[in-house]
Amino acid sequence: MSGIPETSERYLRTRWVTVVGGIIDLLLGVLKIFVGFIAHSQALIADGVHSLSDLATDFLVIWAAKHASRKPDSQHPYGHQRIETAASMVLGMMLVGVAFGIAYDSVQRILDGTAILIPGAWALVVAGLSVVLKEAIYHYTMRAANDLDSELLRSNAWHSRSDALSSIVVIIGVAGTMAGLTYLDAVAAIVVALMIIAVGGKMIWTGVQELTDRGLDPERVANMMAVLQNVEGVVDVHDLRTRRMGADVYVDGHVLVDSKLSVSEGHRIGEAVRQQLREEFPKVADFIVHIDAEDDEAYQRSDRLPLRRDFVPRLRELWRDIPEARDLDKITLHYLNGKIHVEVWLPSGSVQPEQVAPVRNRLRNAAGDDPDLGTIEVLFNPD
């Protein structure tokens, strides 16, 4: 790649593809409406309005792509990707409104039989041209969408294909009306309106799902968990949650590691998990990893246990009469299965190996029945 940042290059490619489609949408929309009037085809006029609505889509796509590519800032720490979502929902509402207007007008024409006109042959020619050009735009846009992995462009590509399908409906309606089925052109216009409503409704619903943080489908989540469980040092993975934000995916989850690892090794495993997930799933923008020393779904929780500042002074008070406890180098605490398991570190040579068990027993007996205390281990610092 050149020195252009990825977000800029993504935006420039999106803008170019959309501008090409927009020029064709503008020419097709004007041509359909013009020929629809002179050829007396209500369905073709409706299809022309559909094409011009695609032009509005194109402008919205360019605007949303530009602003969604902006980097995170202090007010938007997760970025601006949901601008795409909001733009898609606005577009969907615009399409539904246009479609209801087309359907209402067509129903009025059917109820007023004198308003039914017989289309001319030019309506068929223009509708056929629309099918060819809009299908070409679909493939052109979809190729760019796959290259950039852009849901926004994919939506726009399918919008173009819906226009091609509506033009096929227009061909059927015009041909049927010319063959003597006088209401078929108006009926075709209603069908086109329903197709536009379906497209707009889908865009609105998809946006609502994203804004309410709907997760990825279960199959993709299962694939993520399989990848994470194969990372060295990972014992298990649970509570994996996902949400979409524009083209990006954000993930958080709990990763179980060996309970006696150091904090730094547990953190290193967490970094390896994050790196592996982003390599296997490039759309993952971030993964918040919660490192667990025990399976908090299966074992008793430890969040009620006292912290070091309260517990260690309690131990030292209980051990005040034990000579070996006065020279402790370090006390390590492990919060596991609802208990605090203690490792006491003695200076090297302070006791003989055969004295370790008696020292441990004295520490245990002095602690009595402390409800928070688990096991006690006696260790030595190296020389």
Count of positions (residues) in the chain? 383
To the nearest 10°, report the CA torsion of 335, 338, 339, 345: -10
Q: Report the C-alpha gap between 40 and 44 in whole angstroms.
A: 9
**pLDDT for res 3:** 36
SS3 180: coil
The CATH 3.30.70.1350 domain(s) of the chain lie at 218-292, 308-380
Query: Domain 6-211 is classified in which CATH homologous superfamily?
Result: Cation efflux protein transmembrane domain (1.20.1510.10)
Whether 290 contacts 249, CB under 8 Å: no
Model pLDDT, residue 269: 92
The CATH number given to 308-380 is: 3.30.70.1350
What is the model's pTM? 0.61
For 79, left (φ over 0), alpha (ψ -120 to 50), or beta? left
CA nearest 298: which of 344, 254, 349?
254
CA–CA distance, 168 with 50 (Å, rounded to integer): 13
Q: Is 114 helix (H, G, I), strand (E, B) or coil?
A: helix
Contact 272, 232 (CB under 8 A): yes
Tens-digit pLDDT profile for residues 91-117: 778 778 877 877 787 787 677 754 445
Give the tokens for residue 254: 């709990």
Check residue 271 and give its pLDDT: 92
For residue 338, the surrounding DSSP H or E stretch is: none
> 286 vs 83, 150, 253, 263, 271, CA distance in Å?
19, 18, 11, 21, 11
Which residue, 14, 264, 267, 273, is CA-closest to 145? 14
| Regions of the chain short of the pLDDT cut 50 | 1-6, 114-116
How far apart are the C-alpha atoms of 32 and 129, rounded to whole Å? Answer: 10
Q: What is the pLDDT of residue 287?
A: 87
Give CATH for domain 218-292: 3.30.70.1350
Six token digits for residue 1: 């790649």
